[in-house]
Amino acid sequence: MSTPSPYAPAQPGPTAPSARLDVAGDLLALLRETTTEPRPDLQLEALTLAVAADLPVLLWGEPGIGKTAALTQLATALDLPLTTVIASVHEPSDFSGLPVIGDDPAVQGVPMAPPDWAVRLVRAGRGLLFLDELSTAPPAVQAALLRLVLERRIGALQLPPGVRIVAAANPRSSAADGWELSPPLANRFVHLQWTHDHEVVVRGLGGTWPRATLPTLDPGRLPEAVAFARRVVCGLLTARPELVHRLPGSEARRGGPWPSPRSWDMALCLTAFATAAGSSRDVLSLLVRGTVGDGPGLELLAWLDRMDLPDPETLLADPAGASLPERGDLRQTVLDAVVAAVRARPERSRWDAAWALLVRALETGAPDLVVVPATTLASLRREDWDVPPAIERLAGVVALSRRADRAAARVADRAGA
């Protein structure tokens, strides 16, 4: 009989199923080990800014895009306990409170008891409440959510200020038994379109995701930021009163962002936070368009640009030292405003100053931008006003522009023939 060699490798013995599951668990734990890094991410920055502003946020995106994973990572990064509630699997009473009959309901009434997850949030004093699959919640549940989202109340329970609310939804076309959001519920959220970035996904699957951080607000800029936000929003709504409240005509658009006094108040808040944090224009664009809709949001951004433009009276007072915007559209707006100021108060000195300003614009920017203002300014001349020498420098540009217009018209006529 041969004896086994002492140098032969030992054969692994049978292992219990529980031990094999332990090894599988170790492998799963390694797969879940990830890290984060600072990385520019506009939608993540917009989300954290809205969370800092204590406004309810609704993330829209196709299934599997990473909305839930982003919220989980956000809660971890902000050190907030995450409470996930699937709205579609709850009854309306789960959000409005369950009636509990006491000893003497005729005297004491019937209190509305909150669910256990709401009690845990109150005990913790802080947390991130994640309302997932919101677009699969039927209308009755959406109605029950109104008070939770706006007033932070569930039955007789008031959620503490340290609780933030974020929801996620799939478009109706890709949601399981999806519903359109009711207009009252939709108007309570900041809507953010959640998309995937190829580089972020690849690097994240490699173990490194973008880091979610709350914005750093400058304490010295807080009063200035509030005054600026109020000036922007109130200035636009004063000029465009029809934007104060505009309920969309289609059911689908009513389930998204649209302008109302409530959503304008949220836009004002977000503008103040973005100003105090020094956020980029792109981040502010995502937030205001996600609050009042694309059209009103873009008008607000354009109004903000015009507010940063120099005062026409300041330019007329010192045309030689005037600083004009680099962007062509903003420069055109400034020159038109200067001509409008001269028309409103026509004086020889102001007319001459406007010509000097147009010459400066000609020397520092695109010549075609001065054509229309120069033509309009020339029409404002009074009979007793001498022609300033500056006009000689602009006459060639205006004449060339007119010849180009006539040539373009002839080409268009030939093409039509």
Quote the CA–CA distance of 378 and 354 in Å, as a whole number. Answer: 10
Q: 255: buried, middle or exposed (CB in 10 Å: 19+, 13-18, 0-12)?
A: buried
Query: Low-confidence residues of the chain, pLDDT below 50?
Result: 400-408, 411
Most distant CA pair in the chain, distance: 132
The domain made up of 38-100+109-210 has a fold known as Rossmann fold (3.40.50)
Q: What is the pLDDT of residues 184-205, one digit of tens each?
A: 999 999 999 988 888 888 888 8
Predicted pLDDT of residue 11? 52
Quote the CA–CA distance of 245 and 235 in Å, as a whole number. Answer: 16
Q: Which of 105, 101, 107, 118 is nearest to 156 (CA)?
A: 118
DSSP-derived letter for residue 244 is S
Predicted pLDDT of residue 242? 92
> Is pTM, for the whole model, over 0.75?
no
Quote the CA–CA distance of 45 and 312 in Å, as a whole number. Answer: 36
Structure tokens, 385: 């006003």
Dihedral of CA atoms 64, 66, 72, 78 in degrees, nearest 10, equals -170
DSSP states along 280-296: -HHHHHHHHHHHH-HHH
Amino acid identity, residue 156? A
Structure tokens, 292: 């009042």
Predicted pLDDT of residue 290? 96
Q: What residues does each domain of the chain span?
A: 38-100+109-210, 219-307, 312-416
Alpha helices in 206-280 (DSSP H): 222-239, 251-254, 261-277
Quote the CA–CA distance of 162 and 103 in Å, as a whole number. Answer: 34
Quote the CA–CA distance of 315 and 323 in Å, as a whole number. Answer: 8
DSSP-derived letter for residue 136 is G
- Is the distance from CB of 232 to CB of 241 less than 8 angstroms? no
Quote the CA–CA distance of 62 and 173 in Å, as a whole number. Answer: 9
Quote the CA–CA distance of 292 and 271 in Å, as a whole number. Answer: 12
Quote the CA–CA distance of 59 and 290 in Å, as a whole number. Answer: 10
- Is the distance from CB of 87 to CB of 145 less than 8 angstroms? yes
Q: Which of 217, 192, 211, 214 is nearest to 278 (CA)?
A: 217
Structure tokens, 259: 């302008």
- How far, CA to CA in Å, does 279 sit from each of 54, 71, 229? 17, 21, 14
- Is the distance from CB of 121 to CB of 115 less than 8 angstroms? no
Predicted pLDDT of residue 405? 42
Quote the CA–CA distance of 210 and 203 in Å, as a whole number. Answer: 9
Predicted pLDDT of residue 278? 92
